[in-house]
Amino acid sequence: MKNEIQKISLIKRGMVTLSIACASLILLSTTPVEAKGPLTAEVKTAISQKSSLSEERINAVLKEAYEKFKNNQDGKNADYIKALAIVDSKIFGITLVTPDGKVYEIGDTKDVVSIQSISKVFTAAMVIQEKGDKFLQEKIGVNATGLAFNSIIAIELHGGSASNPFVNAGAIQSTSWVEAKDSKERWAKIYSNMDDFAGAKLSFNEEVYDSEVNDNKNNQAISKILDARGRMGSDPLEATTVYTKQCSVNVSAHDLGMMAATFANDGVNPATGKKVMDKKYVPKILAVMATAGLYDNAGDWLYLTGSPAKSGVGGGILAVVPGKLGIGVVAPPLDKFGNSVRGQLAAAYIINELGINPLAQ
Ligand code: GLU
């Protein structure tokens, strides 16, 4: 609710700003109501530079990105989930994985944080795989909400729909639709699907889970509203618990790089060779990542990188350059949208310096 109230007061403030601007005829020179995330100034110079993807070049750009942003102290750890506030905010690891499985990494690439919202991508991938693309589009939705990721009014404003699988509402809904005889089996399937994307057995963060499961009434409320609107596939509170578990899985930059590379490699994990999802569904999930992967800052991110990406409030981010690269970064401090500050800066820098913006090919 706090987010809702902040949003409404921002909108009100924006309206006042607009009226004043119109009155003084300086509309075009006014500052936008919402300040930008960390991206604008930093990556500007890198755009449009071209270079090849040689090993030498990748290593050089990776090192540059690390050196350039390692001392950036902007942002702060999420604290609405208490266990996230005490994660070491200095962690900074970047991993790049090519579709043929070559790994380039620097920094704290083995340090783990909870995956949080990034898990939503993999559960949505399961739903599209099991139920088809029409189902994902019609039952859950594939549009941005324009509101905070945990917004309750977004559901009402969009006709009782979650709008997309990457806001909490759509993610809890996705979880509820994973085919299983009970919530135990549902959780086991979701967990092992994330393992398959990572090509590794991911650990579970009990501390984060305990912290969140005892404090997730907002998510429970969301699940109940969606249930009332006939949009849930299984018991809403059970689905919320499974969703909370999926958010509590640990990932490192290395894991995220590998998960991103599985998308970049048409749904086949480059390290294990396992086909994790059908190639035909990969562009659908990437499209939703492009639309809603970075919360309310997804437009700025896409504008600057052209790359589908997903972040989580644990401080992880993954970005996908189809056919070319999977990028995973872990750096816990977040901007006001909930995106890792150094994660965005490093990934955007790498994409632009390597000249691999997918929309510029
Ligand atoms: N578990 C978090 C929540 O439900 C995930 C949020 C996120 O990373 O966006 O609030």
- Secondary structure string (H, E, C) spanning the chain: CHHHHHHHHHHHHHHHHHHHHHHCCCHHHCCCCCCCCCHHHHHHCCCCCCCCCCHHHHHHHHHHHHHHHCCCCCCECCCCCHHHHCCCCCCCEEEEECCCCCEEEEECCCCCEECHHHHHHHHHHHHHHHHCHHHHHHHHCCCCCCCCCCCCHHHHHCCCCCCCCCCHHHHHHHHHHCCCCCHHHHHHHHHHHHHHHHCCCCCECHHHHHHHHCCCHHHHHHHHHHHHCCCCCCCHHHHHHHHHHHHCEEECHHHHHHHHHHHHCCCECCCCCCECCCHHHHHHHHHHHHHHCCHHHHHHHHHHHCCCEEECCCCEEEEEECCCEEEEEECCCECCCCCEHHHHHHHHHHHHHCCCCHHHC
Kindly indicate whether the domain formed by 55-360 is annotated with CATH number 3.40.710.10.
Answer: yes
Mutate to test the pocket of ligand 1, among 87, 113, 149, 242 (most ligand atoms within 8 A of CB): 149
Cα-to-centroid distance, 220 and ligand 1 (Å): 13
* Cα gap 126→94, rounded to integer Å: 26
- Please choose from 116, 122, 248 the residue to mutate so as to test ligand 1's pocket, defined by most ligand atoms within 8 A of CB: 116
Mutate to test the pocket of ligand 1, among 212, 217, 247 (most ligand atoms within 8 A of CB): 247
Ligand 1 in reach of 150 Cβ (< 6 A): yes
- Digits of tens for pLDDT over the chain (361 positions)? 444 434 444 444 444 343 333 333 333 333 333 446 777 645 544 444 444 689 999 999 999 999 999 999 999 999 989 999 999 999 999 999 999 999 999 999 999 999 999 999 999 999 999 999 999 999 999 999 988 899 999 999 998 889 999 999 999 999 999 999 999 999 999 999 999 999 999 999 999 999 999 989 999 999 999 999 999 999 999 999 999 999 999 999 999 999 999 999 999 999 999 999 999 999 999 999 999 999 889 999 999 999 999 999 999 999 999 999 999 999 999 999 999 999 999 999 999 999 999 999 7
Looking at residue 13, its amino acid is: R
Q: Which residue's CA is minimally distant from atom 9 of ligand 1?
A: 117
Four-residue CA torsion sign, 223, 337, 146, 320: negative
State how far the Cα of 314 lies from the Cα of 250, in Å rounded to an integer. 9
Long-range CB contacts for residues 205-209, cutoff 8 Å, separation at least 24: 205/83, 205/112, 205/114, 205/248, 205/249, 205/250, 206/248, 207/83, 208/81, 208/83, 208/84, 208/114, 208/247, 208/248, 208/314, 209/244, 209/245, 209/248
| Ligand 1 atom with least separation from CA of 171 | 4
| pLDDT score for 39 | 73
* Ligand 1 centroid, distance to 343 Cα (angstroms): 17
Q: Rounded to the nearest whole angstrom, what is the distance from the C-alpha of residue 192 to the centroid of ligand 1?
A: 20
Amino acid of residue 104? Y
Give the separation between CA 346 and CA 242, rounded to whole angstroms. Answer: 32
CB-ligand 1 contact for 313 (6 Å cutoff):
yes
102 C-alpha to ligand 1 centroid (Å): 31
Phi, psi torsion values for 330, nearest 5 degrees: -125, 125
> How far is 28 from 296, CA to CA, in rounded Å?
23
Pocket flag, ligand 1, residue 247 (CB < 6 Å): yes
> Which protein residue's CA is at the shortest distance from atom 2 of ligand 1?
116
User: How many whole angstroms separate alpha carbon 7 and alpha carbon 242?
Assistant: 29
Residue 333: name the closest of 91, 109, 171, 4 by CA. 91
